[in-house]
């Protein structure tokens, strides 16, 4: 089981934010985690009234503390901090409290609004040094709790084996199955260019590598593999929607500066489009694997 001791649930008390609470509460209940509610007050404006208890706090206590708070302290706590930039305030608080996971709600955007990168959720996702779970509110006003099928995009980078170890542990704790997907990104050529004749060979090679990775996972987890072609973020989100996945778990490589401007971020693109929660691990950030859990069999990497 993943070592998730403290979950930070960020809220501005809006319907959008509160839609992410069931997902945070579900994970806290399954992992025996503390659940910390955080609200950021804008320090540049008027002091606002903050409800106490927070919306959803009483219900969370009923789930996590059915027999009353444990002797060593409450499993549900609320906090208020201030800052001119809500995203920065969330990141600082998460660092100071040393949380293991940040859960935050996000708009599901279509069309032009898809490229609005000014949201608090995207700022937290981009700069956090610990895992982030983005819960996108559906167009019907609901959210999907991660319970059944987990989609794991694989790019065969150095982060792959750590990602699979985390995904396997999460699937085990949720009783979920895994599907590994690799996207062969297709270059855009004018119509008169010759098609990529190496594509069938690329597909076979990628599929073989995915199968070896799947075979190296614990046999008690159901694992499927799939190869898709196209733009990475778009294909991942569309495949998850077409096949009813409940969660996408992926690794962020943390591109910055010019590389981010030129290449974009597949992780952020998926988070904007995904029809389900997106659980993002940071390649150089905090891990959630307990010391007793070994990383996915490295022999799979040696065969690749």
2 and 59 co-located in one domain = yes
192 and 97 co-located in one domain = no
271 and 165 co-located in one domain = yes
pLDDT at 42 over 60: yes
Six token digits for residue 251: 């690794």
For residue 169, give Cα distances in angstroms to 64, 78, 84, 123, 249: 21, 28, 38, 27, 12
What pLDDT does residue 295 have? Answer: 46
244 and 173 co-located in one domain = yes
The more confidently predicted of residues 247 and 266 is 247
179 and 199 co-located in one domain = yes
β-bridge mates for residue 249, sequence order: 279
Query: What are 188-214's pLDDT values in tens digits?
Result: 666 655 555 557 888 899 999 999 999
Phi first, then psi, for residue 147 (nearest 5°) are -135, -40
Domain boundary among 143, 170, 204: 143
161-181 average pLDDT score: 93
241-259 average pLDDT score: 79
199 and 135 co-located in one domain = no
192 and 287 co-located in one domain = yes
Instruction: For residue 259, name the pLDDT band (cuts at 50, 70, 90).
Output: very low
What pLDDT does residue 107 have? Answer: 61
125 and 186 co-located in one domain = no
Query: What are 54-89's pLDDT values in tens digits?
Result: 999 999 999 999 988 887 789 999 999 998 889 999
92-116 average pLDDT score: 73
What is the rounded CA–CA span in Å between residue 216 and residue 298? 9
What pLDDT does residue 292 have? Answer: 54
Q: Which residue has the tokens 């401007």?
A: 261
71 and 186 co-located in one domain = no
Instruction: For residue 115, name the pLDDT band (cuts at 50, 70, 90).
Output: very low
152 and 92 co-located in one domain = no
Domain boundary among 113, 143, 173: 143
Instruction: For residue 106, name the pLDDT band (cuts at 50, 70, 90).
Output: confident
Tell me the CATH number at 2: 3.40.50.620
152 and 263 co-located in one domain = yes
What pLDDT does residue 7 have? Answer: 98
For residue 232, what are the domain limits?
144-304
The more confidently predicted of residues 291 and 218 is 218
106 and 158 co-located in one domain = no
Where is average pLDDT lowest: 52-56, 139-143, 213-217, 218-222? 139-143
Averaged pLDDT score across all residues of the chain: 83
What pLDDT does residue 147 have? Answer: 62
Structural domains of the chain, count: 2
pTM of the full predicted structure? 0.86
Domain boundary among 110, 143, 176: 143
């Amino acid at each position: 089981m993943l070592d998730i001791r403290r979950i930070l649930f960020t809220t501005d008390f809006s319907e959008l934010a509160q839609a992410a609470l069931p997902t945070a509460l579900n994970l806290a209940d399954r992992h025996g985690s503390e659940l910390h509610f955080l609200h950021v007050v804008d320090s540049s404006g008027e002091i606002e009234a903050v409800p106490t208890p927070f919306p959803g706090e009483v219900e969370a206590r009923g789930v996590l503390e059915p027999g009353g708070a444990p002797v060593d302290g409450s499993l549900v706590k609320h906090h208020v901090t201030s800052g001119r930039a809500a995203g920065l305030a969330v990141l600082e608080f998460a660092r100071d409290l040393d949380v293991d996971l940040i859960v935050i709600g996000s708009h599901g955007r279509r069309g032009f609004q898809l490229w609005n990168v000014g949201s608090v959720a995207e700022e937290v996702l981009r700069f956090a040094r610990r895992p982030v779970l983005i819960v996108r509110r559906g167009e019907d006003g609901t959210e999907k709790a991660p319970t059944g099928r987990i989609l794991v995009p694989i790019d065969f980078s150095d982060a792959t084996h750590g990602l699979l170890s985390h995904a396997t542990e999460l699937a085990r704790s949720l009783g979920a199955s895994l599907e590994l997907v690799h996207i062969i990104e297709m270059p855009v050529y004018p119509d008169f260019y010759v098609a990529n004749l190496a594509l069938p060979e690329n597909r076979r090679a990628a599929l073989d590598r995915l199968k070896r990775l799947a075979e190296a996972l614990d046999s008690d987890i159901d694992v499927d593999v799939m190869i898709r072609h196209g733009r990475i973020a778009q294909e991942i989100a569309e495949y998850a929607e077409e096949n009813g996945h409940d969660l996408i778990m992926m690794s962020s490589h943390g591109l910055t500066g010019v590389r981010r401007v030129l290449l974009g971020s597949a992780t952020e693109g998926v988070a904007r489009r995904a029809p389900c929660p997106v659980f993002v691990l940071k390649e150089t950030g905090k891990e959630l694997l307990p010391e007793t859990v070994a990383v996915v069999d490295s022999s799979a990497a040696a065969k690749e």
